[in-house]
Amino acid sequence: MTVGGWRSWGRMNKLSIVATLLLAAACLTGVSNPPASQASAPATFRVLLDTSKGPVVIVVDRRLAPHGAQHFYELVKAKYFDGARFYRVVPGFVVQWGAAANPAVTKKWSANIPDDPPKTSNTRGTVAFAATSEKNSRSTHLFISLGDNARLDGMGFAPIGRVTSGMPNVDHIYSGYGEQPDQDMIAAQGNVYLKKEFPRLDYIKTARIVASP
């Protein structure tokens, strides 16, 4: 389904396990355009999310989802996620982000990537791209599983890695707004809308590739 250009999965009922695991159009001023070509991501790499709740480290394994891992690597290298709000937080289910601060660059990054078949389960702490029921629909939106979401495995959600440090910080990301932020408004206004209407949303200050310890 498409709602105002955003693909939505409905609400937290029967098949709400996929509610709003969606694509969006938003961007951050000053973020570089998608490169025509990009160096291949390492076999494994670490990403430090410096969030408003504290540091979160994600270890990505390219063998799990080659297309997803490469795309995430490119987005982080481009500083795409800097300032991105965690706009959807459902306790026990997911923390989701991917709409950048200002609606313009995500359009440039909105080309979908090919599907990866899931090679590991969506257990607590795993990170996967959001998608729709359509083939090859992943773009810039990701989620961290807050619980055991193994039921997503058969729907094609392929984890690219997992949180290895800072999961308590993820657990404390503000969830008071639930799924209230309007997808069309985020697409149209980005953080201008979110800061005004949902000022308590937590966010990513910076996202960077970091060396292994």
- Residue 102 DSSP symbol: S
pLDDT at 213: 61
Residues of the chain with pLDDT under 70: 1-38, 213
Q: Which domains does the chain have, with CATH numbers?
A: 2-9+21-29+56-210 (2.40.100.10)
Per-residue model confidence (pLDDT) at position 74: 95
Q: What is the pLDDT of residue 34?
A: 54
| Residue 189: predicted pLDDT | 86
DSSP 41-99: PPSEEEEEEEETTEEEEEEEETTT-HHHHHHHHHHHHTTTTTT-B--EEETTTEEEE--
- Asked whether 104 and 25 are in contact (CB, 8 A), the reply is no
Confidence at residue 171, expressed as pLDDT on a 0 to 100 scale: 98
State residue 86's pLDDT score. Answer: 97
Contact present, 115 and 96 (Cβ < 8 Å): no
Distances (CA, A) of 95 to 7, 19, 36, 73, 139: 17, 12, 30, 19, 17
Which two three-digit tokens encode residue 16?
């709400």
pLDDT of residue 3: 26
pLDDT digits (tens, 9 = 90+) for 97-121: 998 888 887 778 877 899 999 999 9
